[in-house]
Chains A and B, each alone.
Chain A
């Protein structure tokens, strides 16, 4: 391999790790919701889009500083998520192993995604939103590779969120309840864990992570009212690869996806997404539960 090819590989690794760490935050939320509620949140991409728009709203209409706007988007998405869960999904379907119920919820979440998307169209039109960066500048990695400040911040926040989520699930009462519930629902219920509380907390946190991802990335990528479907697919790929319901699997899955994607984009960009999917397919054929997933017995 020539020196320039090796340098390309090095560049791709840096780009891939950055992208993977950023995008894994989105996937983490999806995994959390599925792990606890047994429901696929097909509106997850729409919450990513909404995170960008909530930040834009906070900056342009409430005139909040950008950091406060990002916090606002995170909190507002939590509240909005809970409201929609209450209004849209029958309570008995919040957590269910029944395939019919799961299908119904999946379709309702799809409808919710349409509502959110068209709501954004009506309010803000089809253009790209203007969100400032927390910091504008770049650091230079060895080899003269520039990495934007906002990318570094997004990576740092993504890592912080994963650490926070880990500590939350390990050390807090509700976190322990969530873990207990996701491992054995009946036993957890017998021990006094409330299904509704667990579901609300998981869904709220999950969609907040999606919104936070959209909020942070809205100044790096363009976000319009039509954004979200592509991100939903990417999140699905990462979650499936890492292991459905596994938070650490999503983190690892995001990293692997990012690196594979960046390397293929450097050398054969037209097939970057397809090759990432093929590699993930190969892994799943050999380990159907994903890298860190476990076999889940359904009633």
Chain B
């Protein structure tokens, strides 16, 4: 080998090593970076321990109760997916510290949901056939839930959904062992309607990403708004890869709605707001972003830098519901992971705790007994007060799961998130962007 080719080979190896290190470091950073929602309310800290914590059996563990968890640990949803896992782990740690469930330790067995439905089905098969899990939490995406249901129902695995929001999943017979602890799409629509009511809007346009859940929300919103006498002027769905919304925003200007409701959960929502806030033809029309990245102050600040007052008076609605247990959980989570908990973590925590309560109440691991106990759940955790309906969706509405609506105000370089709904936790009154005055 000549010296020249040797040098090239060394150079190639060095470059390859740099590439691999960069990819691993980037992936690690990405999966551990925080996606913290702003919780500006100061809540009284109370215990969120389920009943099983106080009545834990003290005998030595006879075995392990395995809870399978399918959540994205890679790809662009990894930060949120990791929070589900971390929230579930906090619950397992607290349960085990108090003696476990019926004297048995709780183990969270996690599988990456992957980037395709085939990955998820594979993950479910491993959890059910190889790991022999007793229960399952997840998957994260509704399409993936649908794909694994044949496996879980055939094995009578009780399954808790902490992220998937599609109402259409909760129908017999597939919902026999399927329970949801997070706000369903119908709840998103209820939040949007609360915003329209708060802003006294008689007409609105609906701008959403082109996903099944957004279509389902649009469907609910169509029906609910019509019943409330609010006119939906248009409902447009955009591929999530869209960056330029100038044509869509010009269309809004021509429709003259009283309000705009947006469902774009990724950076597409930031693109939309950046262009919406910069257009004087529309930027005084009240706008509401459901489940948006705008809940992160850094993202709101990024828009504010480019577009002065671009986020001022904007309404944002994360689906987390603030309860008396929220602050205590956030503290425990912060201590364990040094990052702020998002609602994904809270719902992951609640999923495990609700299961633990049901197993304790059933007194066995039998799926039918646990499902029956779950049906009578009445639990308040950091993510909300969960009482299941007949179809195993959670009850939506005041006192149960509501989501939270904030209105952003900007003063100097400070971004403030004021809670304007629901009234049980609100600390501010909604302001009309057009007049700068509170709504009557």
| Complex contact A121–B26 (CB within 8 A) | yes
Whether, in the assembled complex, B270 has its beta carbon less than 8 Å from a beta carbon of chain A, the answer is yes
Which chain A residue has the least Cβ–Cβ distance from B239?
A: A273
Task: State how many residues of chain A have any CB contact under 8 Å with chain B.
Answer: 58
Q: Are B247 and A266 in contact, with the CB atoms below 8 A? A: yes
Contact A7 B238 (CB under 8 A): no
> Is there a chain A Cβ closer than 8 Å to B237's Cβ?
yes
Q: Which residues of A contact B11 (CB under 8 A)?
A: 87
A128 in contact (CB, < 8 A): yes
Q: Does B241 contact A (CB under 8 A)?
A: yes
Nearest opposing residue in chain A for B283, CB measure:
A146
**Contact: B239 with A222, CB < 8 Å?**
no
Contact in complex: B33, A126 (CB < 8 Å): yes
Interface residue from A118, A129, A231 paired with B26 (Cβ < 8 Å): A118
Contacting B239 at CB < 8 Å: which of A119, A121, A270?
Answer: A270
| Given known contacts A144-B281, A220-B306, A15 and B298 CB-to-CB distance under 8 angstroms | no
Q: Which residues of B contact A133 (CB under 8 A)?
A: 306-307
Contact string against B for A residues 101-142, beta-carbon threshold 8 Å, 1 for contact and 0 otherwise: 000000000010011011101100111111111001010000
B243 at the interface (CB under 8 A from A): yes
Query: In angstroms, how far is the closest chain B Cβ from the Cβ of A244?
Result: 23
Residue of B with least CB distance to A264:
B247
Check if B296 sits within 8 Å of A226, measured CB to CB: no
Query: Are A269 and B307 in contact (CB-based, < 8 A)?
Result: no
Whose C-beta in chain B lies nearest to the C-beta of A89?
B15
Q: Which of B102-110, B248-256, B329-337 contacts A (4 or more CB under 8 A)?
A: B248-256
Report the separation of the CA atoms of residues A162 and B308 in the bound assembly, to the nearest whole angstrom.
Answer: 31
Cβ of A8: which chain B residues have Cβ within 8 Å of it? 251, 254
Chain A residues with CB under 8 Å of B18's CB are 115
A21 to chain B, nearest CB (A): 12
- Judge whether A230 is part of the interface by a CB distance below 8 angstroms: yes
- What's the tally of chain B residues with a CB closer than 8 Å to chain A? 53
Q: Is the interface of B mostly helix, strand, loop or mixed?
A: helix
Q: Is the CB of A138 within 8 A of B251?
A: no
Q: Are B237 and A269 in contact (CB under 8 A)?
A: yes
Nearest-CB residue, chain A, relative to B244:
A19
Contact B306 A219 (CB under 8 A): yes
Of residues 240 through 268 on chain A, the ones whose CB sits less than 8 Å from some CB of chain B are 261-263, 265-266
Taking a contact as CB atoms under 8 Å apart, the answer to whether A130 and B246 are in contact is no
Query: Is B22 within 8 A of A115, CB to CB?
Result: yes
**CB 8 Å contact bits of A34-57 with B (1 = contact, 0 = none):** 000000000000000000000000
Q: Given B15, B267, B274, B280, which contacts A224 in the complex, CB threshold below 8 Å?
A: B267
Are A128 and B25 touching (Cβ within 8 A)? Answer: no
Interface centre among B22, B79, B275, B280 (most CB of A within 10 A): B22
What residues on A are CB-neighbors of B76 within 8 Å?
226
By the criterion CB–CB under 8 Å, are B210 and A4 in contact? no
Query: Quick check: is A11 within 8 A (CB to CB) of the other chain?
Result: yes
* A120 to B76 CA separation, bound complex (whole angstroms): 15
| Known A-B contacts A117-B26, A269-B238, A273-B239; A130 and B301 likewise in contact (beta carbons under 8 Å) | yes
Kindly state whether residue A272 has any CB partner on chain B within 8 Å.
yes
Taking a contact as CB atoms closer than 8 A, the residue among B19, B244, B270, B307 that contacts A115 in the complex is B19
A125→B29 contact, CB < 8 A: yes
A269 in contact with B19 (CB, 8 Å):
no
A208 within 8 A of B: no
Give every chain B residue within 8 A of A114 (Cβ-Cβ).
19, 22-23, 26
Most buried by A among B23, B241, B306: B306
State A272–B296 Cα separation when bound (angstroms): 29
Chain B residues whose C-beta falls within 8 Å of the C-beta of A288 in the assembled complex:
none
Identity of the chain B residue whose Cβ is nearest the Cβ of A271 in the assembled complex: B239
Shortest CB-to-CB span from A227 to chain B, Å, is 8
Question: Beyond A7-B254, A126-B33, is A146–B247 a contact (Cβ under 8 Å)?
Answer: no
Interface check B203, CB cutoff 8 A: no
Residues on B with beta carbons closer than 8 Å to the beta carbon of A136:
278, 307-308
Q: Does A122 contact B25, Cβ atoms closer than 8 Å?
A: yes
Name the B residues within 8 Å of A221 (CB-CB).
243-244, 271, 274-275
Chain A residues, CB < 8 A from B250: 11-12, 14-15, 145, 266
- Asked whether A204 is an interface residue with its Cβ less than 8 Å from the other chain, the reply is no
Chain B residues closer than 8 Å to A219, beta-carbon distance: 274, 305-307
Closest partner residue, chain A, to B293 (CB atom): A128
Distance in Å from the Cβ of B322 to the closest Cβ of chain A? 24
What is the chain A residue whose CB lies nearest that of B268? A222
Q: Tell me, rounded to whole Å, the shortest Cβ–Cβ distance linking A44 to chain B.
A: 16
Q: Mark B293-336, 1 if CB is under 8 A from A, else 0.
A: 10010110111111110000000000000000000000000000
Give me 8 other A-B pairs in contact (C-beta within 8 A), A121-B26, A125-B29, A221-B244 excluded: A87-B11, A117-B26, A118-B26, A119-B22, A226-B76, A230-B243, A261-B244, A272-B238
Q: Which residues of A are in contact with B by a Cβ distance under 8 Å? A: 4, 7-8, 11-12, 14-16, 18-19, 23, 87-88, 90, 111, 114-115, 117-119, 121-122, 125-133, 136, 138, 144-146, 148, 150-151, 218-222, 224, 226-227, 230-231, 261-263, 265-266, 269-270, 272-273
Q: Can you give 17 A-B contacts (C-beta < 8 A)? A: A7-B254, A87-B15, A121-B26, A126-B79, A128-B299, A128-B302, A136-B278, A136-B307, A218-B306, A222-B267, A222-B270, A226-B267, A261-B244, A266-B247, A266-B251, A269-B237, A270-B238
